[in-house]
Structure 1
């Protein structure tokens, strides 16, 4: 159920905020009513001196920085004080309402001097300390609200003495308790809210709650309610008038249905979302004739909507989002037939429903919200769809719907349409332009064949969000002078036919926050007045077009913009100083020229991402990078920069991605040991020299990728390189590195583990890596997590291959070729069972190929050529797929792959020795291509042989 996982945390916060607002509103209403009591009579009755003195003592213990209790003066009648209400006949204080007065401090014992108090609301303040036990002595108290404070310690069980209490709200505090026996004594209680308290140790909570005969509303939201067996509970004293039951964000299992089915038949609202309920929905709702709202979303429920729902004839809201329902959708909808006149909101998305859009749904004439997003629904929308005249929100995205956009004539209230990620392939009905209430439309990632004209927008004056991205046949035909009737907040037309001319009507949109015209076929220049961007704009994406011209100087713009993406266009000329409030500037694959000297005059403290990859930039880099303290990713690769890498790079402590490959940088690498967050460093294909510094291993513990290929680094590999636990790509090839391979390579954890946990580590969304794999350069993004590559080829290494390299069990590519390694190939090489590429060629290795090579079942590329290996090539189905070039230049080797018989196999002609006159050039892509062709041919041959020799194949199983 991944369709909503990215927004689930956002929806949780939204719901919690809603609950806070609702609670606040309810409390405000109560407050107003309470304070007015003392002024409802014409008879003037002054408050009791003793009670006034008690209130003044209470005030002395408070912190009142906002001066909310300014009216509490000793010379005044306390019945006139703010938040105080008295009995009109006796003058006794009966209500104290200090809700949301920003008060702090502790509650003193003086409240005991208010014996006639029946209403106490101290909610939404900053009171701390413990809840006083003395509150339990206020015997006349009917309403007690202490919500949203900082009370701590245990809840005093003396609260159970408040036998007249009908409203108790202790929500959002830090109090603790192990049982709720005191709650069961509150026989008059009608409203109980203990949301956001920790119930994890209160295993008896269902028993206590079930003994409240008058309870009408129960709210235990986000309480860590443990899953306890409720099947054996006694319901003798249970409330028969319970109407509201809200228990979301807990750990409740499916046994809660048994409790619900026995508690009350008068339930109006049930909310159990975000719990741990599994299996099918039981028949607990059969006799709930008054139920209006049911929320079972974000659980693990299965099956479909049960037949017992046929009795829910008053149901208005049903939320089953994000479960594992897999029933036929039409059948489940049929079980809601009794509610077809009342149902207003239906949420069924993020499930595994199958079948087409149910025709029966069009009979639900009161339906206002319909969400069946991400539900594998197929077919087309029926013509009767237009009967849903009350519909306001339609979300059917991420399905398999086909056909045309439906006729929406008569759906005048529709404000949101989401049909994204489907297979719609027809046209747009002109009736779309009549939806005068429409604010949001998302048709992205379909195959709509539409020519969008002004008619489609005729009356859409309320439109705010438009996303028609990734409809390759979607085009626009509007006049150059068109002035749309709307002001958009968001416009996304990526991968549509917008061009070749730049859409000048977008200049009329002065409230845009996001504009995406990427890959839209635009081959025009941008009008000058376009760059007078509205301050609301936070994202501008014009990438992958053929837009030409110069990038203007935007330094005078004072508004913040998060992203400007102009990559893959034809912008040219020198770069201006960067926009001072931009966070991400992506200008790769253009034709910008000149140097970067202008950045030193740039005050861009918010810059996080700078991508200038593949331009025509040159010159030395200025040494003023310390001013970009927030910089996370810097890509200057594939330009013609020269000179030394600036030392000020070492001050970029937030940097996690540094790509300077394919330039002309020279000199030694400056210290980056303070850049401890670095994940990717690619300095390949430059003229850098000096030793590989020890701080790389000792300081850069977060490193995933280190590529220093094709430079002039020298000296030995420092042993600290083995201290990179997360390294996935280590490429030191084509340098002048000497010495021996470190004996600690097995300490490279990501290389040594074959673990899903390692593969699942998160990758930054903007991560891009250019890496040579199987002889060809590839681009990796999120799939970098699966790479495990160690390449130290084309250096001057000597000595033997250490045996601990065979414990790097997660390796998928190992290249030690073109060195001066000697000795035997370690016998345990066969342990590297996920190895796909192995190149040990052009060394001085001797001895035989270990028999364990037969275990390398994943091997696709193998090169052992030009060594001193001897003996028989081990025989396995996988090794038989490799052709002669994989083993050539080893005079003593014999076997089928070389067409050479081994001693004892019978006479054969001497094989022609290859490789003696072979040039010492690098292995080409053609070499790998020939290997892959040989692998395929050999594999097919072996499969045909196995199919023909059935008896031999079966006997080897």
Structure 2
């Protein structure tokens, strides 16, 4: 299965752990998540082939008895939120109703009832499954998936076991709260059974072995189901697809022997099943049709070479991620010439890979994340497929202690779309041959030892991430990458000015130039409508506050700290209405704090420390609803980001929804705060500031404030510190909590 590519990755964390189950839809935006979920269901249901008697092109009206049965079913529905059954009316031709299919071959009888709710954000049907369905004597196909049809008691209707004409039954995502029923074993004509993502519990019944015509069996991700005996599977003589993911099989030691008795098997998916081992031996392997084997998430912990499946040359997809297999990967892998997808990631860095993959011409994706104990990148690349028509599109090998220099030529991997080699010890220059990878979109090389200048980039590139290396010199005058969305260059030694050509990347969403040696002014880039993150801290940028940011209404995170910016803050700063983080400390900005800054109602962190700002603290700071319970960060209408942008590897993870953000390797945590310290502010502390009820850090030290401390400052229940760090340090080096207290030169007692 192809995995989604990350939207943003930054500094790699070698200690991170993989998720228990990776499925399609991984980056973080709500709109993308909903779209991906809809696509997932579309694909899943498009693959279901019921093999019905005929099409719904009937010339006769529906059978009255069956129309009444369907109306009785509708009567058992208490909520039809999407009007799925709106066409179901008395006296109408039921063969024309939504979800109903009749067949001429059966005299107009109903043969198919498809009411799946896969395309709805909420379950469209709520209620119970009516026994009136028993009147549909010719019904072959029943799909009620993704609906809340568990009824008042959550039990599976026993009468379903009497519908013996059924060949296709899909009740997936229906939240039954019941023991796994044995009466499904009565449906001996079934060819397709999907009960995945239900809330059954108990033990799988042996009666499932009665389903001798079954081609497709999906029992995955049920709530709490186990099996201590899977011998019944051997009776499913024509089975092609079985998915029992997340079913507890911790006592099963004969799995490959049972599976070997079904030579028709093409797909075996048993991820996260607590299987104890995969080192069984089989004298004669009958699984000559096997294409897809997924054993991910089972802790085997034995040598990878002892696994039973290495001689299955028909394999197209092999998932062994999270199995903690170790030792040398056997040479037999190089003989799996049909292999398209290999996932051997997150296995504890205890394996080695010296096998020659030159002949795997069909290989498309290979994931080895955090699995290899060591390796030389040059030798590794030389063992990849050498075919003239190589299809390798994804190569992911981060956190594998790889050393050496990346080869200058990339002709063998010119088909790559994604290259992820973060958190290794690869040295040398970025190969100039990258320009020839005309399909390359994702280039992740952070936390290595790369040196030299950044070369010209391929025009196809969307993500270019090389943080925490030793890159130097100036950026190319022409970046030649108009499709760039993420450009992450932080923690390097890049010098000179940022070229104007960067503005041609109008899709740019994340631009991180921080912690380099850049100088001069930021280029004028008014046509970056999608820019959300601009990080330019710890450089020598100069000039006034960039005027082009006025058109950056999508900006969420702006960090210009520790530079040489000067002048007053613009009054239009309040136009950046989506801003959550504004960090401008350690520059030479002057003038007053613009009153318009309080128009940033989503702002959760404001840092203007160590500038030359004067005047009063605006009382209207109380309008910063992002720091109050009136507008908690997780409840805004724009939930498209929680700022947890990582590939399960990044130290950079901003979790706006939970008031906790991490920035860089040692970032500020509990980052709902205001820091106006080390300026020339005068006047008093406005009482209104105490209305910022979830403010956790307030630093007003080293100013010229006077008057009394607000009487109700003690009502700020979330306040953790009213101070400054004992020693001023750059933003990315702040401790996780501000410690110590500074002296406020305010007369009178604290009231």
Bucket of the pairwise TM-score, normalised by the shorter protein? 0.7 to 0.9
CA contact (8 A) 2:260 2:287 kept: yes
How big is each residue's C-alpha offset from its partner over 1:795-832, in whole Å with a ceiling of 9 and x where there is no partner?
Answer: xxxxxxxxxxxxxxxxxxxxxxxxxxxxxxxxxxxxxx
- Check if 1:636 corresponds to 2:737: no
Residue in 1 that maps onto 2:566: 523
Residue in 2 that maps onto 1:508: 551
In structure 1, which of residues 76, 89, 106 is the aligned counterpart of residue 105 of structure 2? 89
Q: Say if 1:166 and 1:34 are closer, same or farther in 2 by CA, change over 3 A.
A: closer
- Check if 1:491 corresponds to 2:534: yes
DSSP 3-state at the match of 1:548? strand
DSSP 3-state at the match of 1:311? coil
Q: 1:228-247 maps to which residues of 2 (within 5 A)? A: 228=277, 230-233=279-282, 235-236=284-285, 238-247=286-295
In structure 2, which of residues 464, 488, 495 is the aligned counterpart of residue 417 of structure 1? 464
- Check if 1:392 corresponds to 2:441: yes
Residue in 2 that maps onto 1:166: 215
Q: Say if 1:209 and 1:6 are closer, same or farther in 2 by CA, change over 3 A.
A: same
Residue in 2 that maps onto 1:461: 506
Give 1:483 shift.
3.9
In structure 1, which of residues 104, 128, 145 is the aligned counterpart of residue 177 of structure 2? 128
Q: 1:199-348 maps to which residues of 2 (within 5 A)? A: 199-223=249-273, 225-228=274-277, 230-233=279-282, 235-236=284-285, 238-255=286-303, 258-259=306-307, 261-262=309-310, 264-302=312-350, 304-339=352-387, 341-348=390-397
DSSP 3-state at the match of 1:386? helix
Distance (whole Å) between structure 2 residues aligned to residue 235 and residue 584 of structure 1: 67
In structure 2, which of residues 487, 492, 495 is the aligned counterpart of residue 449 of structure 1? 495
Residue in 1 that maps onto 2:673: 584
How big is each residue's C-alpha offset from its partner over 1:379-438, in whole Å with a ceiling of 9 and x where there is no partner?
Answer: 112333322222111111211111111133xx2211111122111112222230x21222
Higher-helix-fraction structure: 1
Give 1:261 shift.
3.3
DSSP 3-state at the match of 1:179? coil
Distance (whole Å) between structure 2 residues aligned to residue 546 and residue 59 of structure 1: 70
In structure 1, which of residues 472, 475, 481 is the aligned counterpart of residue 519 of structure 2? 475
CA contact (8 A) 1:322 1:350 kept: yes
Aligned length: 642
State which drifts further: 8-17 or 513-522. 8-17
How big is each residue's C-alpha offset from its partner over 1:109-129, in whole Å with a ceiling of 9 and x where there is no partner?
Answer: 222442211011111222221
CA contact (8 A) 1:587 1:613 kept: yes
Q: TM-score, normalized by length of structure 1? A: 0.61
Distance (whole Å) between structure 2 residues aligned to residue 637 and residue 393 of structure 1: 40
Residue in 1 that maps onto 2:60: 44
Q: Say if 1:200 and 1:52 are closer, same or farther in 2 by CA, change over 3 A.
A: farther
State which drifts further: 392-401 or 338-347. 338-347
Q: Say if 1:453 and 1:438 are closer, same or farther in 2 by CA, change over 3 A.
A: same
Give 1:508 shift.
3.0
- Check if 1:440 corresponds to 2:489: no
State which drifts further: 589-598 or 159-168. 589-598
Structure 1 residues without counterparts, runs of 5 or longer = 640-654, 671-957
- Check if 1:623 corresponds to 2:711: yes
> Taking CA–CA contacts closer than 8 Å with sequence separation of 6 or more, which of the two structures ends up with the larger relative contact order?
2
CA contact (8 A) 2:427 2:451 kept: yes
In structure 1, which of residues 423, 431, 451 is the aligned counterpart of residue 478 of structure 2? 431
Give 1:628 shift.
3.1
* Bigger Rg, structure 1 or 2: 1
Give 1:16 shift.
6.2
Give 1:141 shift.
0.4
State which drifts further: 55-64 or 100-109. 55-64
Distance (whole Å) between structure 1 residues aligned to residue 178 and residue 293 of structure 2: 30
Distance (whole Å) between structure 1 residues aligned to residue 436 and residue 474 of structure 2: 21
Give 1:339 shift.
4.6
CA contact (8 A) 1:179 1:205 kept: no
Distance (whole Å) between structure 1 residues aligned to residue 342 and residue 687 of structure 2: 61
Q: Say if 1:12 and 1:635 are closer, same or farther in 2 by CA, change over 3 A.
A: farther
DSSP 3-state at the match of 2:693? coil
- Check if 1:575 corresponds to 2:617: yes
Distance (whole Å) between structure 1 residues aligned to residue 527 and residue 711 of structure 2: 48
CA contact (8 A) 2:707 2:746 kept: no
CA contact (8 A) 2:569 2:594 kept: no
CA contact (8 A) 1:392 1:415 kept: yes
CA contact (8 A) 2:54 2:103 kept: yes
CA contact (8 A) 2:370 2:400 kept: yes
Give 1:658 shift.
7.5
Q: Say if 1:10 and 1:430 are closer, same or farther in 2 by CA, change over 3 A.
A: farther
- Check if 1:104 corresponds to 2:150: yes
DSSP 3-state at the match of 2:494? coil
Q: Say if 1:62 and 1:306 are closer, same or farther in 2 by CA, change over 3 A.
A: farther
Distance (whole Å) between structure 2 residues aligned to residue 12 and residue 149 of structure 1: 17
Give 1:361 shift.
2.9
Give 1:586 shift.
2.3
CA contact (8 A) 2:220 2:245 kept: yes
Residue in 2 that maps onto 1:869: none
CA contact (8 A) 1:391 1:413 kept: yes
How big is each residue's C-alpha offset from its partner over 1:293-336, in whole Å with a ceiling of 9 and x where there is no partner?
Answer: 11111112446532342331221111112223412211121111
Give 1:163 shift.
0.5
In structure 1, which of residues 327, 335, 355 is the aligned counterpart of residue 404 of structure 2? 355
CA contact (8 A) 2:281 2:308 kept: no
Structure 2 residues without counterparts, runs of 5 or longer = 1-10, 27-32, 110-137, 628-671, 727-735
Distance (whole Å) between structure 1 residues aligned to residue 256 and residue 25 of structure 2: 23
Residue in 1 that maps onto 2:167: 118
Distance (whole Å) between structure 1 residues aligned to residue 221 and residue 574 of structure 2: 47
State which drifts further: 162-171 or 614-623. 614-623
Q: Say if 1:486 and 1:557 are closer, same or farther in 2 by CA, change over 3 A.
A: closer
Q: Say if 1:246 and 1:196 are closer, same or farther in 2 by CA, change over 3 A.
A: same
- Check if 1:547 corresponds to 2:589: yes
Distance (whole Å) between structure 1 residues aligned to residue 231 and residue 51 of structure 2: 34
Q: TM-score, normalized by length of structure 2? A: 0.77
Please, what is the CA RMSD of the aligned residues?
A: 3.6
DSSP 3-state at the match of 1:532? helix
DSSP 3-state at the match of 2:141? strand
How big is each residue's C-alpha offset from its partner over 1:59-90, in whole Å with a ceiling of 9 and x where there is no partner?
Answer: 78776564755666786776555545455422
Q: Say if 1:485 and 1:668 are closer, same or farther in 2 by CA, change over 3 A.
A: closer
In structure 1, which of residues 191, 195, 198 is the aligned counterpart of residue 248 of structure 2? 198
Distance (whole Å) between structure 2 residues aligned to residue 76 and residue 35 of structure 1: 27
How big is each residue's C-alpha offset from its partner over 1:672-701, in whole Å with a ceiling of 9 and x where there is no partner?
Answer: xxxxxxxxxxxxxxxxxxxxxxxxxxxxxx
How big is each residue's C-alpha offset from its partner over 1:158-209, in whole Å with a ceiling of 9 and x where there is no partner?
Answer: 1111000111112221223223222232121111122233333444444433
